[in-house]
Chain A
């Protein structure tokens, strides 16, 4: 029951079992200490833990707000649909270490005074979670009830208001406009609701055991602890790695200057994140602030190293079209803007001479859709396209002067488009 030393925390799977049973879990980590809600919130605040679902919002601040809402008994949503196609860390965690996630959810419930946790995951994770919940029920270790809600397999499923809509049995996976209010005030069954990413909850489960000082012993003062990353392009297949925040990707992934030359650019944060020049991505400290200062975001921890020989603009076009199709189809600027934006990127990628207004038309279009949806979907696509145009400016100039790339192959994972009219 010793605290894990160094950067391996969530991926410490108690001796390498495929699925860590409750017995093995308790043997490795011990039981959750019975602290008061107030004590837990203070520890989480002092730990500096931030949301690993993509927003990097301070977790303690969020928990305190839900705990203090005071109208009705709050609900906790353990949120793990992970609609981001290039991300696999939440599924990995749910499959291999479900009890870390469930411990975190129970900790959050105690902290905010919730009597109910809804585990919100896609179909593939349901079986494993049910087994884990049955183990916990037999032991009677939880002071709250657990339910499982099945998320549709869409990009937007994990968005906060979309998750609540799914759980409330209303327009599954479709965000709602909550304006100045938030699901924190009115969410599941109209009750104050804490929606928290499953990796974030797993970190909280360890903070509850080992405290904030232990948590802060890894990372930087503002970006504390470790993060799970889904890394594509470094090995033959994508891999989940755990790294201390504040490290560099070059160091964490073992990429030297020589190996970096074979990388055209790095996508950080996923399809709502942003492209970075290889040198920047590999040498900047891995913190959300550093990523944002370069126009990107760590997002949900997606890292894609784009190898040479693949047209980055064709990849950007494929993703932009996929993201257009994954919109909820509710907001005019997003419905119209993303279609025009995707078409323009397709022009740049495949028919560059028919791109009206040149490359400069793309950031202008992005400006027209940013901040104008009910959710942040259009903003994410705009960031993805903006950074592509920036990072691959030389490549775009080649397209315009010499024509599109003659040879390329699909590299980024882009799921098949939903059947038209199915949503």
Chain B
């Protein structure tokens, strides 16, 4: 159950390490900075679509674990740096 947040990554490992749960993230857009370039929707169509005026609509409250790396690359590809990957588990 690798995706179960109830099972900490470090649980059961030798050495008595403190159990660490997987970090969880949300994508947020700064709507003032965003100028609707649309790069994000091309790079991350799994989570981002565009409204009739070309501005991003983020789907889902949390980035699925398998998409976190892609989401991070998407944030740095935004020409206005209007996307933020926000850690929500702490």
Contacts and interface: CB of A to CB of B under 8 A. Distances in A.
Contacts of B35: 332
Interface stretch (B39-47, B51-59, B62-70): B51-59
Nearest to A373: B31
Contacts of A336: 52-53, 55
Interface residues of B, number: 16
A374 B84 CA distance: 14
Contacts of A368: 51-52
A333 B51 contact: yes
B33 A177 contact: yes
Contacts of A176: 32
B53 to A, nearest CB: 4
A88 B35 CA distance: 37
B86 interface: yes
B37 to A, nearest CB: 11
Nearest to B54: A332
B84 A332 contact: no
Contacts of A330: 31-32
**Interface size for chain A: under 10, 10 to 19, 20 to 34, or 35 or more residues?**
10 to 19
A179 B31 contact: no
A332 B30 contact: no
B55 A179 contact: no
Contact of A372 (B33, B57, B84, B86): B57
B71 to A, nearest CB: 16
Given A179-B28, A180-B28, A180-B86, A332 B33 contact: no
A337 interface: yes
Nearest to A378: B31
Contacts of B53: 332-333, 336-337
Contacts of B36: 332
B34 interface: yes
A331 interface: yes
Nearest to A176: B32
A332 B28 contact: no
A374 B52 contact: no
A374 B51 contact: no
Contacts of A334: 31
Nearest to A332: B55
A409 B32 CA distance: 37
Contact of A177 (B30, B55, B86): B30
A96 B36 CA distance: 48
Interface in A284-341: 330-334, 336-337
Interface of A: 176-177, 179-180, 330-334, 336-337, 368, 372-374
11 contacts: A179-B28, A179-B86, A332-B35, A332-B53, A332-B55, A333-B53, A333-B55, A336-B52, A337-B51, A368-B51, A372-B31
